[in-house]
Each structure stands twice: as C-alpha cells, then as structure tokens.
Structure 1
Amino acid sequence: MAKESFVQNRLKSVVYALRGAWILVRTESSIKIQVVIAFVVILAGWYCEISATEWILQLLAIGLVMGVEGVNTAIEKLSDFVQPNHDPRIGRIKDISAGAVMICSLIASAIGCIIYLPKIF
C-alpha cells in the first residue's frame, strides 16, 4: 500500500510541475522568447548535423537558461506577494535573480558561438 501512495505522490508532483511549466510558458513573455530561440537553435542543430556532445551541451544550455528563468519568475512573483509596495531590498533581490538569468544566457550564447561559428565560417 505504501508503494502505491509513493507512486501516486510522485505522479501528483509531475502533474504540478507540468502545470507550473505551462503557466510559465503561457504567461511570461521572456520565456516565450526563449522557447522561440530554443526552437531555432534546435533546428540549426539538425541543419548543421551537430555531434552528440554538441547536442548535449546545447540542450543543457537551453535547459539551464529556461530553468533559471522559471526560478527568476517565481522569485519575482513571491517578492511581489510578500511586498506589493516598492521596496529597495525587494528590488535588489529581483535584480540579483535577473542577473543570474543574464549570466546563464551569456554562457549559453557562448556555447552556441563555440558550436556554430566554426560551422558557419
């Protein structure tokens, strides 16, 4: 009986996670842009016939940026809930969270350049 309960709990967790991902993609313009960029980069990978290692790096970069963007959005929503009025401390928290997304995006862009620039030139 405990096994069924464990499996049911894991399935519920997956459903909640899928719902959260859907809410993120449906409501946040920054993640919509990232989904389009990811789609274009994936098409470029097929077109350029990148290696398995390049696919791994590309997919990790895409997942990292989109995952950190999701955490950034959650931090922003939580911050707005906790302190709906302007507060410089909350602003600093939001800036740090957005900075993390920027760092991941820059690294992902560098990975893209390392993979694709030699194939283009």
Structure 2
Amino acid sequence: MADQETTTPFSWRARAQSFCYALAGGRVLLVGQHNAWIHAAATVAVVIAGLVFRLRALEWALVVLAIGMVWAMEAVNTAIELLADELSLEQRPRLGKAKDVAAFGVLAAALAAVGIGLLVFLPRLFT
C-alpha cells in the first residue's frame, strides 16, 4: 500500500499568497543585490531597443526568454548565497564552492543572453 500524503485542499487565497511571497522575493533581489541593478538596467535597455527596432514575435520570444533566464538564475544565486550565509558566515570551502557554482550559473545565463541579443540585434544594425 502506497504512503498517502496529507495535503491541504486547494485554495485561491493560498495561491494568491504564494504570489505575494514571490513578489517579496523579487523585492529582496532588487533592493539588496547590486548585480540585479545591472540586470534591471540591461532589461530596460533591451526592451527599449526591441521597441525601437520593432522586433518580430519570434525575436521578442527569444529576448524575453533570455531576460527571464538571467533573472531566474540571479534569483537562484541570491537564494543560495542567503542560505549559505545563514548556515555559516565563516569561510567554509563547500559553501564557497556552492556559491561559486551558482554564480557561474548566472554568468552562463548572461553570456547566453548576450549571444541571443547579438543574433537578434546585430542583423538589424547592418541592414
């Protein structure tokens, strides 16, 4: 016989509350993380460029996906940093490695976003 999980019944109020928690996390990211300010500036610049160059739907889809990927990785990186710092403020090699790997995730996403940006915008600059 399979173990039965006890779950609370579905609630629209609980779902709405989960969005509030997510927005609070976004605020933590924007208020406390300097790299998030760079991502915000880049996001605004790319959206403005997309409007100026009148991107097509597929181009917008790629740009939005790239922006979302960078923001998601920055959020995960920040969460890992906060959790690691909560565990220990002293130098711990494995926590340091975890933070480094999470930071690489942001870098990889940002580089991929730059690649997408070049593929989308460079042809428009030279036509």
**TM bucket, shorter chain:** over 0.9
Matched residues, percent identical? Answer: 36
Q: Given the alignment of the two structures, is residue 10 of structure 1 paired with residue 8 of structure 2, yes or no?
A: no
Paired residues, what number? 119
Letter in 2 for 1:20: G
Say which SS state the counterpart of residue 105 (structure 1) adopts.
Answer: helix
Offset from partner CA, 1:70-117 (integer Å, 9 cap, x none): 110010010011121001111111110001111111100000000001
Letter in 1 for 2:73: V
Q: Distance in 2 between matches of 1:60 and 1:52?
A: 12
Partner of 2:50: 45
Offset from partner CA, 1:17-74 (integer Å, 9 cap, x none): 1111112111111011101100000000000011100001101100110111011001
Structure 1 residue ranges (4+ consecutive) displaced by more than 4 angstroms after TM superposition = none
Partner of 2:76: 71
Partner of 2:111: 106
Which is greater in Rg?
A: 2
Partner of 2:38: 33
Say which SS state the counterpart of residue 65 (structure 1) adopts.
Answer: helix
**Gapped regions of structure 2 (runs ≥ 5):** 1-7
Partner of 1:93: 98
Letter in 1 for 2:113: A
Partner of 1:59: 64
Partner of 1:80: 85
Cα RMSD (Å) of the superposition? 1.3
Structure with the larger helix share = 1
Q: Distance in 1 between matches of 2:82 and 2:23?
A: 18
**Gapped regions of structure 1 (runs ≥ 5):** none
Partner of 1:22: 27
Letter in 2 for 1:102: L
